[in-house]
Structure 1
Amino acid sequence: MLGAAARFALTGGVATLVHLAIAIMLIRLGVAPLIGNAAAFATAFMVSFWGHHLFTFAGHGVDVQNSLSRFVIVAVLGFIANESSLALLLKFAAVPAELALLVSTLIAAVLTFFLSRYWAFKPDPSPMR
């Protein structure tokens, strides 16, 4: 599992950097944090999916269509965790929007790893013969 976790961290790190760079840029341009975060999520989604499909969980044996449909669900759940925690941090914590964004993104990353590893890219068990 350490190998998959390291590959996930690398792939997720790239997708997260894309996400954070776009979100922070939009926030600094005056876009509301929750809207900027949503736009950044949409942009980073494909980086994340293809990175995980081709690198993190390479050799998983799950076809693109099946893993994409599962990963959409994983990504949406991660986005809900990210956006909800961001909204709560912005409302109740006295921290800059960029720090709140970083914390909420970390929360979503942990959730996304486990859902990706144990469901989205998990091969279906072999049929019994």
Structure 2
Amino acid sequence: MKAMLRLASFVAVGCAAAAVHFCVVVLLVSRAGAMPLAANVGGWLVAFAVSFLGQWGLTFRSRAAPVWRSISRFFAVSLLGFLANESAYALLLHFSSMSYDVLLAAVLVGVALMTYLLSSRWAFRGNPAG
């Protein structure tokens, strides 16, 4: 039961962070004239803050992991996810005729599972040896 609640919380926080990421990218592209791949970096940076605060404060709070260790590990997980995101996004933008925002949504969903597994098994572990 605890694992299901954690998963539900992770998904809710992840959806909020993904929505922030998506909105920042769309705003940067449509209002500031940024290129989609460059805007994606800005979207990820803002979404990282939303995601970390939500995951550390809600989803994995019971793990009692120190904030500084968790933030550095979660940054590594998030960066790995972002590198996968940016690579897939660049390929899709190059080879697909679909709109940048549709492609971004697909990529954000695709990276979410990897982020959950790495966060749950490593970034927010309470055991210092882990």
TM-score (norm: length of structure 1): 0.92
Instruction: Specify the alignment match of 1:22 in structure 2.
Output: 24
Percentage of identical aligned residues:
37
Q: 1:28/1:64 Cα in 2 relative to 1: closer, same or farther (>3 Å)?
A: same
Once residues 125 and 95 of structure 2 are traced to their aligned partners in structure 1, the CA distance between those partners, rounded to angstroms, is 37
Bigger proportion of residues as helix: 2
Query: Conserved in 2, the CA contact under 8 Å of 1:81 and 1:107?
Result: no
Query: Conserved in 2, the CA contact under 8 Å of 1:11 and 1:52?
Result: yes
Report the aligned-residue RMSD.
1.3
Instruction: Specify the alignment match of 1:61 in structure 2.
Output: 64
| Unmatched tracts of structure 2, length 5 or more | none
After the TM superposition, which parts of structure 1 deviate over 3 Å for at least 4 consecutive aligned residues?
none
One-letter code aligned to 1:90 = L
Instruction: Specify the alignment match of 1:46 in structure 2.
Output: 49
TM-score (norm: length of structure 2): 0.92
Q: Secondary structure at the match of 1:59?
A: helix
Instruction: Specify the alignment match of 1:98 in structure 2.
Output: 101
Instruction: Specify the alignment match of 1:123 in structure 2.
Output: 126
Deviation at 1:8, TM superposition (A): 0.4
| Unmatched tracts of structure 1, length 5 or more | none
